[in-house]
Amino acid sequence: MEIRYSANQKDVKRYTTEELRNEFLITGLYKPDEAVSFYSHVDRMVVVGIMPVNESVPLDKGLDVWKNFGTSFFLERREAGFFNLGGPGKAIVDGVSYSLGNKDCIYITKGAKEVLFSSDSKEEPAKFYGVSAPAHASYETRLLTLADAAKKPLGKDETSNKRVINQFIHPDVLPTCQLSMGLTILSSGSVWNTMPSHTHERRMEVYTYFDFPESEVVFHLMGEPTETRHLVIKAGEAVISPSWSIHSGCGTASYSFIWAMGGENQAFDDMDVLASSELK
C-alpha cells in the first residue's frame, strides 16, 4: 500500500509538474491478480484497483492490515464501494456472491471480513475500482446497477458539458456511514465536467477517468480557484482532490468518470459554486 500524505494549498503553489503528479495522481491500479492500494491521509481514503485474471483476489492481498489500519481485517472500521470497469466478474462478501457487469457497483458495509474478487473470463478480466472510507456504523452490503442509480442530468451541448450524474452510493439510494460514489457519463461531443467549477470545504473527492481511447487524455484541473493547476490523466488513472481544490476536467474526447466523496456530510449540493470568470 502506497501512502500519500496531506498537502496544503500554500505549498502546492510552488509544486513542479512532477511534484504535483507524485502527490495527487494515482497510476498503475490494475495488475493481474494483484490488489493495488493507495492510502491518502486526506480524510483517510483508500483507493484500490483489482484485476483478477487467473485466480480470485482478496481485498487485503499483500497488505499488513494491522500495520496499515491497526485493525484485524480491512473493513473492521471501514466501508467501501467498488465499480466493475472491465468484463463480467464477481465480488464474494462473507460467502455471498454478487455478479457485477460493466459499470455495476457494490457497496460493502463496515464489518465485512472476507472480500474476494474474480473474473468470469481471463480473456476479458473484470477491473474492480474501489474507494474505502472510515466508518463508525454498519449498514447492508448491496449490489447496484446503472438502473438503480439516481439520475441527475446536467449541462448543455452548447457549453460542451452535457452529462448525466448517476448517484449510486448516495443517501437517495441507500444509507451509508460517510462514503458517497457515483458515475458521471458525458454525452458524445461534450468534454467538460463539473463546469462551472466548485469547491466543497467539508468533503474531499477522488476521481478516476475512463471510457476514452488510449490516444486521448483528460486535463484534470485542481488547485485554489485563483491558483489553478492541472494534471494530464490517462484512462484508468485516478486523482486525489482535497476539499480546498477545484475539481473540474476537460478531455480531448468524451469520457466517463467515477467520483467518490468522504467528509463531514453527504449533502451532494453542499458546494461553493464558482463562476468561470473567477478562475485564474
- Say whether pLDDT at 105 is over 90: yes
Beta bridge partners of 231: 220
The three-class DSSP label of residue 260 is strand
Q: Which long-range contacts (CB under 8 A, 24 or more apart) does 12-21 make?
A: 12/223, 12/227, 12/229, 13/223, 13/227, 15/229, 20/229, 20/231, 21/231
Q: What pLDDT, on the 0 to 100 scale, is given for residue 28?
A: 97
Instruction: Tell me which DSSP letter residue 70 carries.
Output: S
Q: What pLDDT, on the 0 to 100 scale, is given for residue 202?
A: 64
How many Å apart are CA 260 and CA 258, to the nearest integer?
A: 7
Task: Give the domain extent around 33.
Answer: 2-278
**DSSP code string of 168-205:** EESTTT---SS-EEEEEEEPTT--EES-S-EE-TTEEE
The pTM of this model reads 0.94
Q: Which residues contact 121 (CB under 8 A, 6 or more apart)?
A: 87, 88
- 10 Å Cβ neighbour count for 141? 21
Instruction: Tell me which DSSP letter residue 222 carries.
Output: E
Question: pLDDT tens across 184-209, in order?
Answer: 999 999 999 887 777 677 678 999 99
Number of separate domains in the chain: 1
- Sign of the alpha-carbon torsion through 244, 209, 271, 143: negative
Q: Report the CATH number that the domain containing residue 172 is assigned in CATH.
A: 2.60.120.10
Share of the chain above pLDDT 70, in %: 95
What would the grid cell of residue 206 be? 477522488
